[in-house]
Structure 1
Amino acid sequence: MTNESTPGAGIPRDAQPDETGIIDLEHTRPVPRTEATPSGPDAQEQSDARDDAWFDVFGPEHPTQGPGVPARADEAWGSDRADALAEQAHRASYAPPVIASGAPGADGAGMQQDPTQPGQAAPGAIGGSGGGFAWPAPSGAAVTFRDAPVGPGAPGDPDAASPTRRRRRRSRSGLLVAGVVGLCLLSGLVGGVAGQLLDDRVNLAGSTLPEPGPGATDRPAGSIASIAATALPSVVTIKVDGGAEGAATGSGFVIDAKGHILTNNHVVEGAAAGDIEVVLSNGDTEKATIVGRDASYDLAVLKVSRPGLTPLQLGPSSKVVVGDQVIAVGAPLGLDQTVTTGIVSALNRPVTPGSGGGDVTSYINAIQTDAAINPGNSGGPLLDLNGKVIGVNSAIARVPGASGTTGGSIGLGFAIPSDQARRTADQLISTGKATHPIIGVQLDQTFSGEGAQVSDKSTAVTVGGPADKAGVKPGDVITGFEGKRIRTPDQLIVSIRSRAVGDTVTLTVKRDGKQIDLQMTLEADPDS
């Protein structure tokens, strides 16, 4: 590393610099002269001036007057004066630090140094106590931001005429250039980091991934998450050990504070010789007993001796319309506390889920839904967006040809309407059995036309029954019930069973090519 105070120090005089196209001031040496060597008293001064002329042309600073100025210094292009003016304009436009002669006490704008303490920043300077930045400056010079004419060679510069001082001036200018370059590099670094912070939002304190704030897990009332959180503690998993009849798993839900649980009959019908265990939402298990069950409606009520259970509220299924959003809760495939969602995809769908004891067949005027329902969901609640039970999940459709032990959700699930479930549950809790409304006719199951045909046998209409009182005759085809079209016998059966004993209904029959409306009052089945 060379000594900055002596340009060219350490370089042999006969060494040739590399021809790189870059002017290296430290390696530049005087060009040999061909004219005669001066003589006389002023020979040494003339020789110094001639030798220094090379540096006057290629050095970083050029005087505007004196022996080193070329003859045509006022040329608009290529002259030293034009270069000096261009350099001055460039420095003024970017406001770089410049060398201003004089002692301390110049105006305090910008950066300045105490000339008696080289390298120490004055208050307010960059890097000093004022929060600024400073670099060493030559003695006797103050570094400041100004637009005044720059440094050596400017009018009034006392060092302009001395060749020896010009050499020292070049060393100082080298320091200044190094300082300016350092400031530019620092500015570029600070600007680059600031740009990165703005563009990428770099968080120097840690990860930039957002953290959930207070209340982030709260859910608005009416949301599926909120409804599920409220309903899940009231939904149970039912495990039946039927002994020789085998085991079964289903679902149920609490319907009152006394520990009554509503489920499907086909879930618990095999427990006559076995045990029923109820698994609560917190994992606790309780033994359950059967209060009553009804194969015709495929419903059953259990009871556990566990106080403090929270019941679900039964809503009005008569208000449900196709397209309503619904939530199914249960233990499909034994996976307890499972929540699925969907919509009501159809109403008044006649289905026959499960199998009753003996020759009894279940008939349900079901709510159809596309919420995922699988084996194990049976007996669980179907909720509306108010969190009320509008149905009891009971059956799923199966692809034609599939065996009874296979199949899962294909988007066709069925639930017993809550209006029917409420009536039946009340009856089972009160008396241990449920009553079924009837009209007192036998239907011809071989009829292939539209509607439900009363058998043409003389005994097809029960004497003194509701149909007989209303005027129904053997052979009549029932085509309407309460203003709704009847297409199949099953549709008529589930329509009647969806009503309560004592209800007055209108029956539309077709007889001899004519349609007749008949009114009747539903009565209880004496065999139920």
Structure 2
Amino acid sequence: MNDEPTTPGPDPTAAPEPPAAPGQATSAGAGPVPPAGVPDRTGIIDLSDTRAIPSTGPQSSGDDAWFDVFGGEHPTEGAGVPVRADSSWGSDRADARAEEVHRSAYAPPGPAPAADPAPPVASAHSSAQHPAYLGPVPAAPGGEPATVAPGGVAQAEDPASRRRGRGRLAAGVVALCLLSGVVGGVVSQLVDGGLTVGGSTLPEPGPGATQRPVGSVANIAANALPSVVTIKVDGGSEGSATGSGFVLDALGHVLTNNHVVEPGVNGDIEVVLSNGDTEKATIVGRDSSYDLAVLKIGRTDLKPLTLGPSDKVVVGDQVIAVGAPLGLDQTVTTGIVSALNRPVQPGDPGEASYINAIQTDAAINPGNSGGPLLDMTGKVIGVNSAIARVPGTSGSTGGSIGLGFAIPSDQARRTADQLIATGKATHPIIGVSLDRTFTGEGAQVDDKAGAVSAGGPAAKAGVKPGDVIIGFEGKRIRTPDQLIVSIRARAVGDTVSLKVQRDGQELDLRMTLEADPAK
């Protein structure tokens, strides 16, 4: 609109405004407030007209609920308060006194003595044929409402007529609000191309619009979660446990940790699927040394996860852990591969597991055991099995400190195949006993008689008692545990190389790993 409402000059007879209390509205920036009996020439911007706002009358009480619904009290103006963009138009009644004038027009009429009619007021768009204001105008000094006659003279209006006029005004304001919403909605839909004639006017997302990109964490999680299960074990006097697992194949085999199912060897084991279905499970096979177990449930309609190649994993790869930490099933956490070939020996002496582990900083907590560690293609590269804890804390108080460990998928695949086929797993050995009291770097073969098994792989390769093994397959060996987990990570029949120290000399030897006859 090119023509803006005009504002009359200040009234020299008006009393000065008292200073505003801190935090209260002032009229600064909104222009002078017209005196009582003189209509305000600022206006509400309509679609086709500018309408003057009534400026006098008693304060409304409870009769202006429509205003409270469509907008609350305006914020204060002055220092520190942004000036409203439309304050020069007065469309939102920026100052408190103008607000009071606006609202007073809708107050119920009260008895008042007769008074001279108020002169008609025209807005910037008014003309003789186009009245500036539709509806009641401010009362004369006596308080009796008046209307503008065709000749421009204010006439008294009876209360019933005034109520009808006020109703028309309220209806007009509501209609204006609704019309503005409709216009905005139609314009936005025309811009978006989503307008539907004769039906819903809201655009609907097309097929797949809410799916996440392939390779994103959300997409991988959405595909993997239906294959991840929660395992509940009730071992009676042996205790109970909650852990995780995942579907191995379409025959109903589920892979998990041995330490999860061990209490249920003579008890009950249940597998809870992602949709909440519960299935009874039986143990197909388990191995404490590798800390792996395979369960069987009576379902053949489940989608298995794919075991990927853990030997292709590098430090820094992004990974996703899925499981039921602390019993919170279907939990997804993310991190990276922090280290590889980390020798981890969890468990009690005699029942310890030897894991050549993938270390990750993805949050892993009690209950994650047996769940998958996924790469960014959604393949399983590890089975989450252990976490480190702060020295001095007990196992019951440990939680994720960013040091989690997973059994590599290559080892898990071999072990799972063996457990399904025979119910037990084979362990590769070299046939030596190690000296656990040795404090130097490397793994020293005990110097006692029988430390090197006769006819075993080490004896055939030329290893002797007292030798210190410092290398395995080209990698440096610093501790006995590192040598053990490196051997356990290989398969029976693999040919490997050893580097040993003997009498100040280094020797390179080769041998073929054999199965442990005791297993």
Q: Tell me the TM-score normalised to structure 1 length.
A: 0.61
Alignment of 1:298-337 (within 5 A): 298-337=291-330
Matched, 1:428 2:388: no
The verdict on how the C-alpha distance between 1:517 and 1:202 changes in structure 2, with shifts beyond 3 A counting, is farther
The verdict on how the C-alpha distance between 1:410 and 1:19 changes in structure 2, with shifts beyond 3 A counting, is closer
**Letter paired with 2:410:** D
Alignment of 1:355-394 (within 5 A): 355=348, 359-394=350-385
The verdict on how the C-alpha distance between 1:274 and 1:207 changes in structure 2, with shifts beyond 3 A counting, is farther
What is the CA-CA distance between 1:205 and the residue it aligns to?
4.2
Match of 1:440 in 2: 431
Match of 2:242 in 1: 249
> Residue deviations 1:126-147, cap 9 Å, x none?
xxxxxxx99448xxxxxxxxxx
Among 223, 227, 239, the residue aligned to 1:230: 223
Gaps in structure 1 of 5+ consecutive residues:
1-17, 21-132, 138-174, 176-200
Match of 1:403 in 2: 394
Asked whether the equivalents of residues 319 and 336 of structure 2 are also in contact (C-alpha less than 8 Å), the reply is: yes
What is the CA-CA distance between 1:360 and the residue it aligns to?
3.1
Return the alpha-carbon distance in structure 1 between the equivalents of residues 342 and 183 of structure 2.
Answer: 60
Return the alpha-carbon distance in structure 2 between the equivalents of residues 267 and 526 of structure 1.
Answer: 26
Alignment of 1:129-528 (within 5 A): 135-136=127-128, 204-205=184-185, 213-214=205-206, 215-355=208-348, 359-528=350-519
Asked whether the equivalents of residues 470 and 500 of structure 2 are also in contact (C-alpha less than 8 Å), the reply is: yes
> Residue deviations 1:169-201, cap 9 Å, x none?
xxxxxx9xxxxxxxxxxxxxxxxxxxxxxxxx9
> What secondary structure does 2:368 align onto?
coil
The verdict on how the C-alpha distance between 1:136 and 1:216 changes in structure 2, with shifts beyond 3 A counting, is same
The verdict on how the C-alpha distance between 1:217 and 1:509 changes in structure 2, with shifts beyond 3 A counting, is same
Asked whether the equivalents of residues 295 and 355 of structure 1 are also in contact (C-alpha less than 8 Å), the reply is: no
Return the alpha-carbon distance in structure 2 between the equivalents of residues 352 and 524 of structure 1.
Answer: 20
Return the alpha-carbon distance in structure 1 between the equivalents of residues 483 and 347 of structure 2.
Answer: 20
Return the alpha-carbon distance in structure 2 between the equivalents of residues 212 and 464 of structure 1.
Answer: 74
The verdict on how the C-alpha distance between 1:366 and 1:203 changes in structure 2, with shifts beyond 3 A counting, is farther
> Residue deviations 1:95-123, cap 9 Å, x none?
xxxxxxxxxxxxxxxxxxxxxxxxxxxxx
**Letter paired with 2:356:** N
What is the CA-CA distance between 1:491 and the residue it aligns to?
0.1
> Residue deviations 1:29-67, cap 9 Å, x none?
xxxxxxxxxxxxxxxxxxxxxxxxxxxxxxxxxxxxxxx
Asked whether the equivalents of residues 265 and 283 of structure 2 are also in contact (C-alpha less than 8 Å), the reply is: no
> What secondary structure does 2:381 align onto?
strand
Return the alpha-carbon distance in structure 2 between the equivalents of residues 19 and 288 of structure 1.
Answer: 94
> What secondary structure does 1:422 align onto?
helix
Give aligned-pair identity as a percent: 78
Return the alpha-carbon distance in structure 1 between the equivalents of residues 410 and 185 of structure 2.
Answer: 60
> Residue deviations 1:360-414, cap 9 Å, x none?
3210000000000000000000000010000000000010010121110000000
Asked whether the equivalents of residues 340 and 371 of structure 1 are also in contact (C-alpha less than 8 Å), the reply is: yes
**Letter paired with 1:397:** A
Asked whether the equivalents of residues 321 and 362 of structure 2 are also in contact (C-alpha less than 8 Å), the reply is: yes
The verdict on how the C-alpha distance between 1:469 and 1:134 changes in structure 2, with shifts beyond 3 A counting, is same
> What secondary structure does 2:366 align onto?
coil
> Residue deviations 1:239-275, cap 9 Å, x none?
0001001110000000000000000000001112210
What is the CA-CA distance between 1:203 and the residue it aligns to?
7.5
What is the CA-CA distance between 1:341 and the residue it aligns to?
0.4
Gaps in structure 2 of 5+ consecutive residues:
1-11, 15-124, 130-151, 153-180, 193-202
Return the alpha-carbon distance in structure 2 between the equivalents of residues 355 and 257 of structure 1.
Answer: 34
> Residue deviations 1:269-290, cap 9 Å, x none?
1112210000000000000000
> What secondary structure does 2:412 align onto?
helix
Asked whether the equivalents of residues 298 and 353 of structure 1 are also in contact (C-alpha less than 8 Å), the reply is: no
Asked whether the equivalents of residues 331 and 376 of structure 1 are also in contact (C-alpha less than 8 Å), the reply is: yes
What is the CA-CA distance between 1:306 and the residue it aligns to?
1.1
Return the index of the structure with the highest Cα Rg.
Answer: 1
**Letter paired with 2:370:** G
Return the alpha-carbon distance in structure 2 between the equivalents of residues 389 and 509 of structure 1.
Answer: 35
What is the CA-CA distance between 1:354 and the residue it aligns to?
3.3
Match of 2:48 in 1: none
Asked whether the equivalents of residues 381 and 391 of structure 1 are also in contact (C-alpha less than 8 Å), the reply is: yes
**Letter paired with 1:332:** P
> What secondary structure does 2:484 align onto?
helix
What is the CA-CA distance between 1:353 and the residue it aligns to?
2.4
User: How many residue pairs get matched?
Assistant: 336
Return the alpha-carbon distance in structure 2 between the equivalents of residues 227 and 464 of structure 1.
Answer: 49
